[in-house]
Structure 1
């Protein structure tokens, strides 16, 4: 059965502005139905938030050869990420500079050049215009003036981030703060063991709000909750986390900085769209990694010398998150595909020299977070259906478990202001 959500008919820019300002005074509660049903709000979200934020698009291993490319599609726009012949990586809009046709159709592939299917304008793999048939009839025409429009790009330990804003803040100075916490995983040498897109029938905010809190973990994720201490109040698990932090240097062979907490996300972000977060928390005693039984799944990653009983939570930008265990890493990216449709993209990384079938079993590697994501898709869709009711009244958020949700919502409302 397909679920259809109505859009508010009594909607306008002035209504949106009034609703945003009213909600700012109601901190500590969830958003009212309007913010999930308004077409005006959704279009503003794409423009103000998604097209001005740094977003993970893929891993460097996806484009090993000259001409290799993949697309990142969002809203009505599409970006091409491509490796050029000098080994450099470029990102540019998938929009011909003549009449606007898409110059790349397949989601990924290899091209010697990008040829517009409409009138044949031909672009090099760095986006420069090589040929524009018969345009020399214009006396002042030059191919140099019409490259595919570049967008901002940053590569951090093999992870490729883009920002559709060509004048976006430099993400490099922010990701540098994660060097001691993310660097030891050596993701630039990692292997993508698997990736999956889970599409949920819900507005993207429902999806983000769900990811940012673990209030639901004990009831909705029984397997996850047996392993991860995030399911409990801090008071109950702080000693376990302290023990992990204390023992980690001796077990992993890394410095104390490996467990450093960094909190510069949403309202605390130093520049818009450049959120940075890290926290290393404890798994329950006896559990070593994020598997169904808590036991190792793959070779240790990068420079990590042993299982310290902990896991690293990361955030880069507003919509990209990672959960890194000592033997594998799981990346989440959330992208709206419509007002009531969101893709949850999940990527599993293992050490670069790990061999499938020998060093790891892909089905076992992905089992915990596949099951957890399917459970999330179910509860998020139920949340969306109920919260879009005309009778829904926003309730109070939990001061500890939903603290990040409150920070997200404050950032969201501030960013959405007229």
Structure 2
């Protein structure tokens, strides 16, 4: 099943129904434009509120050359800043998380409070005219949506709440606000362009071909749709026992979840928020995944599972089996996107035709061509094209 809840009047565009050209998946200049036009204004998840419950707790996210931290202040409020000292530009904190009473730069010991205010400058008389009130940490736009903390570098475009508004009723029963991390964030480097990961995530056509496990679990119930800012995928588990033991025991052991409607008890639900943030929602857990661009041909997949408190043995077993099932799916997807990235370097390939059922990819390609019009060029332009525009 595939639906497109958008204005489908792009049929007058000769490129409607065609993929982005292969050169946009490895061109350095196109990548630099993507960082500024796609990622600087996009929302990125840093963590969940439950990951920073106490005063001074912080989590960080590095992407497109920026380091951002979110920290809980003494007043209980969460704030976001660039992880950059206002003196000489040094990074202030290291690692992905921690707890601090104050944020102290390791270079010259400038001291910032948890609300970002600059309060300590060693040998301050040697900085004549320094106004500390004007040199606090640089704030970053932040939004907390259902417990998840998002940031963006440029305050442009809709809020996360507005993006997800069409799906609020679907998400509400899962009690996102009460989730807690199961394990730690996993970082998985991949030698592919970030778009290849997203294209594959929202592609329903490859499920019956390349994911036999998902096909056994869902049969023909897997569906996809694209809305303005969000792709949605879904499937309902088959009652027929799978031949694979992990899948069969997951079907058998997954216990009823009292707070979920009956229709959600055996339902898997996926959302991809523009352009690279995904939530995989299961009855037993919620998996978060984000693919961050590193270079034109390398990316970093960042992922972690969140769960509600549930000590039932059946639930613990179901979560383990879910992990086993999806570990295999991830390995299958890694092989697929690697094959595609390698194939895109061939001089024989430029653009590929898209099925009417590839609604998410059609929407993504159209939006990328709107943002970066050079994506309409079938052949890679001469070096320096982005500077001559």
Q: Shorter-chain-normalised TM-score: which range?
A: 0.7 to 0.9
The answer as to whether partners of 1:152 and 1:163 remain within 8 angstroms in 2 is yes
Partner residue, 1:292: 247
* Mapped pair 1:227 → 2:243: no
Correspondence 1:160-239 to 2 at 5 A: 160-166=149-155, 169-194=158-183, 195-229=185-219, 232=220, 237=221
Corresponding pairs, count: 355
287 and 303 in structure 1: CA distance in 2 versus 1, 3 angstrom threshold: farther
Say whether 1:99 aligns with 2:54. Answer: no
Give the Cα–Cα distance (whole angstroms) in 1 for the partners of residues 72 and 326 of structure 2: 31
Per the TM alignment, residue 364 of structure 1 is displaced from its structure 2 partner at its CA by 2.1
| Change in 2 beyond 3 A, CA 1:185/1:149 | same
Query: Are the aligned partners of 2:226 and 2:360 in contact in 1 as well (CA < 8 Å)?
Result: no
8 Å contact 2:145–2:160 — kept in the other structure? no
**Cross-structure match for 1:403:** 359
CA distance in 1, matches of 2:41, 2:52: 25
Q: CA deviation at 1:330?
A: 2.3
- Against the structure 1 CA distance between its residues 136 and 355, is the aligned structure 2 distance closer, same or farther, given a 3 Å change threshold? farther
Q: TM-score, normalised on structure 2?
A: 0.82
Q: State whether residues 152 and 168 of structure 1, in contact with CA within 8 Å, keep that contact through their aligned partners in structure 2.
A: no
What does residue range 4-403 of structure 1 map to in structure 2 within 5 Å?
Answer: 25-166=14-155, 169-194=158-183, 195-229=185-219, 232=220, 237=221, 264=227, 268=228, 275-278=229-232, 281-286=235-240, 292-293=247-248, 294-295=250-251, 303-306=259-262, 308-351=265-308, 353-355=309-311, 359-361=315-317, 363-400=320-357, 402-403=358-359
2-side partners of 1:64 and 1:373: how far apart?
31
Contact conserved, 1:298 with 1:354, CA < 8 A, in 2?
Answer: no
Where do 5+ consecutive residues of structure 2 fail to align?
A: 1-12, 374-388
After superposing the two structures, state which structure 1 stretch, 364-373 or 165-174, moved more.
165-174
Q: CA deviation at 1:395?
A: 2.2
Residue 309 and residue 356 in structure 1: after superposition, are their counterparts in 2 closer, same or farther (change >3 A)? Answer: closer
Deviations 1:282-302 (A, max 9, x none): 3334479xx622426666557
Greater length-normalized contact order (CA 8 Å, ≥ 6 residues apart): 2
Q: 1:359-416 CA deviation, whole Å, 9 max, x = no partner?
A: 404532311111111111111111101111222242211221x221011011111112
Structure 2 distance, partners of 1:356, 1:133, is: 55
Question: What TM-score does the superposition give when structure 1 sets the normalisation length?
Answer: 0.77
Secondary structure of the equivalent of 1:394?
coil
Partner of 1:415: 371
Which runs of 5 or more structure 1 residues have no equivalent in the other structure? 1-23, 242-260, 269-274
Report if aligned partners of 1:83, 1:89 keep a CA contact under 8 Å in 2.
yes
Q: CA deviation at 1:166?
A: 4.3
Residue 18 of structure 1 corresponds to: none
Q: In the TM superposition, what whole-angstrom CA distance separates every residue of 1:218-254 from its partner, at most 9, and x where no partner exists? A: 221111111124xx4xxxx59xx9xxxxxxxxxxxxx
Would you say the 8 A contact 1:301–1:328 is kept in 2? no
Shift of 1:87: 1.1
